[in-house]
Structure 1
Amino acid sequence: MLEKRSGQPERPTPETEPEVASFIAFLNQLFDALAVSLTRYAARVSRDKGSLSRYLNGRRIAPKDFVDELLRQVADLTGSPVTDHVRIHAHQLRLEALRVRNASQHELEQLRESLGAAERELHLANVRERALLRAVEAAEEQTRQAEKRYRQLESDWATAHYTSGSSELDLYAQPDGADELRDEIRGLKAELEALRIELSRAQALKHDAEEQCLRLEARLLAAEAALKAERAGARDKAAAAELQVAHPEDADPDVFHRIVAAVNAANNLADTLHAVVEGAVRELGFDAVGLSLVRHDGDLVMAAVWKTEEHDMGGPSGLLGKVGSRASWDRLLGACDHWGTLRFLPHDRGWAVGSDVPVLTGDGPLPTHADDWHPQDMLFAPMYNADGDLIGVLSVDRPRSGKRSGEWTRETLERFALQASLTIGNARLRAETERTLSRLEREHEALRSSEESFRQAFEYGPTAMAITELRGDAMGQLTRVNDALCRLLGQPRAVLRQQRFADLVHPDDLELFRRISAEAGRADLRLTRRDGGYQRVRLRNSIVADAAEGPRFLMTVVEDMDEWKHGQLVAPGTPDPDHTMNRQ
């Protein structure tokens, strides 16, 4: 409506909804504060004067940017900035007015705001995750450095004790400063564990934020499609009225919105599949609906079925789990008439239905008119992913109108199949992600348990053992030794770990040691003790290999041979433990 002679917009009528009246009163209060005519204001902000008049008199609900622009104009005039309280109050008034005047648009805007907030939350979660990852890496490096200093301290102490010429070595004595350094390492490890726990929480929050964004995005797409359909229906009321006469169930403008909302509300893949078939039955006017999904081998399995009434054994529910080959389905769909993206198979082409394809056909009256539904007619809605690959087929049967589906129902079924394919794809992706995360967590837990069991067995076992590096510059270096080996040779762990295994071998046994050092063999030889003597031992080697890079470590079991007074030395690499050779 145009402005009055005074140049001011027409005020809302008394019968205007209370929520709309409150919002319009607020807008007009702001506009009156500008003390300018509507014509001049329209020229100032480069807007259509007719649209501004409709915003201010309540014929149309003003968009958000118009409200923000009006608030800025008043702030510039008064010299006082708009407070957050005023801005939030203005937007709340607008949303309430929009809710009572245009519920679909209101829902759409709410979803957009929620999605924006979820995206911001996801961004913060990503930032926090990256920060925690850096903190964990820094804490790990600090811990490694502290442990390195501790090992160096222990090594220096052991070397000093060794060079002092002391005849006895106290394995339980500690160097000066060891207690403080151990306390520092414990503190660093506690801090590292806390950071890892916080990182796990941050990653869980990030995962939840990603899930929330996916759900809101799906709901927003559905709401946008529903609003588009609603506007299209409003532009063609005559066609809708005609369809109402022929197919009363087809002309409900809220059908698509309801059915998609129900599907998007499902929490997992199974609930999503059931929501799809149930919604098609309840809202689209069919007596029975089935959903076949493409398996990993390409064949299709009937994953969900719904019908209006309870059925006996052998009814539609008996089709659950039935598998049809991809070739049979391709032949069936290829014989159908194309109704847009839908596929319709008339009853007289039953020859195209393979014996392995589960189909929803049943009893019913024979047609008396050309557009009547025949009991053996079939209608399919193929579903594809974003790459154009078939992911499933929606099969519908027996329209409750008794007629072949009209244009409105076909379009709605097409759009619903498209939305269902997106939702099912997201649900399958979530299910696969959850299964993968669960499997990785189980494998990680098993690995941790296995590593801890090995560490306990290695460190505290009664048998002397050592692990030697087989690659790089550290080849031959002792990387791990256990307490039993330290006791056997009378040398502390720090001293042993600074040597190569060959450094411990008697010079006359070196050639024998070298022959077995790169293979899973065994031999009897002598190792140097702390007191300068030699310990007669039997070595048993096992190679620890990496599937990608080959041998990595050599694990050696060291057995004390002193009690074997009359035994014989075992030849290197001999598989038979009884095969021996003369001692050196």
Structure 2
Amino acid sequence: MGDRDAAMAAIRSVYLITGRINTGTTLAETLQLIVDAVVDGIGFTVAVVNYLHPEGEYEAVALAGSEEARATLLGARYPAEVLDEYLERAEAWGQLRYLPHERHSAHIHSWVPDEVPGGDGVPEEERWHPLDALFAPLRAPDGELVGILGVDLPADGRRPGPLQRELLEMLAAQAGIAINNANLVEALQRERRHLAASEEAFRLAFTGAGSGMCMIGVDGATQARLTRVNPALCELLGRAEAELLDRPVADLLHPDDLDLARLAFAAATTGKGIPVRDYEIRCVRGDGAVIWVATTLSLVAGPPAFGILQVQDVTGRKAAEADLVRRASRDPLTGLANRDALASPLAAAVRRARAGRGDSALLFCDLDDFKSVNDTLGHDAGDAVLIAVAQRLCALVRPSDTVARLGGDEFVVLAEDLAGLDAAGVAALVDRIERAVSAPVVHDGHVLRVRVSVGAAVIDATAGDAGAALRTADRAMYQVKGHRHGRGAADRVIAHGEHFGAPGGMPLLRLAEG
């Protein structure tokens, strides 16, 4: 076989051998395959890979060909700058670095064989010396150095010639690629393990969370559907997991809160991942009960994108808040609306009247004989009268009307949207109020009687404001008190539509003289 044929055979052999080094499933296995390939196919009897760790330190991690060398070198670590400085003494053989024995340094940890096999008969100038060393840098495809391959003891006892050097360069190039690939595979496996651990941690936190949590699909066909729920949410909503999965979120919300939920969802999906916090909406449980929940919605970028919704039951707090509002707007003795609570419906009645959408009547009621009850029988008796009057007034009006206690023995009735309002209709209501209030109240063995003076004001298109309406009715009430011995209510209520000097042109229902 000629030199050319031998060279081609050697190159084909190297290609076959280098194919094996890419079959490693781990970095350690790949490094061992590299040194085995050197010993099997390149003609050196010892090979070691010094792997460059990310922190900048070489370590002898794989060795083939000599158990003595293995025991001496494996695990040895060198700061990168020390080995690099050592290699600066070497001669450049293409990509290889040859360090002749004359330049050997005892300051770096190394293995020196006792003799070189196969060196007999080789001229001195061609013979491999026990202190000679040859190194091949191992580089990733982007040129980054990943290690140094060291070889020793050529099988023929000679310094490597051009063909052997070229074969070593070829193998080193493939080895660098194989190491890079192994690093990528291990990095991917680490990432998968990390993701698996993260998923397990999330699963444990998600499942064991004391508050309701769910994942919501926000992409494609799963948009705004529940894709994962935890036990706390199932308990909160009174529904089984199977009943919730793949269900549209809108199915679980109170119809009146759908628009608010859509706004929150839009804010989360367009807000660049910023959580939308503390939206309070109502949900419908499996048993039909309505509960209040506070929600925090966070978007997680995909693909596929999804949202994580945290849900906290705030029904108790909302009920407490509503009770505080109710207490603040209610008279504590009678349960009627107080002066502050009257302001809103009264202002609304004025606005409707000015817009031509219906007139209302405002009746100001003051008890005439109440002080004598308190002075004679005490405040308990007076309270019993006030409660009875409140109950009777409420019984006389429609659910849409408002009965309020302004304080003391003053009450107000707002009768809204009175179609075809006239003096006779208002007078009839006044008469019913007078008769109902004057009925006896029995308390602690006593029969109590009080009367009421009622002043009436019409709220129509000429109305000024709520304050003017209240002042007009109050003034009318005092006029009634001055005419207690006049004729019946139907005779005394006249002049509907007459502007009896009321501020803002407020019509006044006043008593006839005489």
The answer to whether the superposition gives a TM-score over 0.5 is: no
Calculate the TM-score normalised by the size of structure 1: 0.38
Q: Which has the higher helix share?
A: 1
Calculate the TM-score normalised by the size of structure 2: 0.43
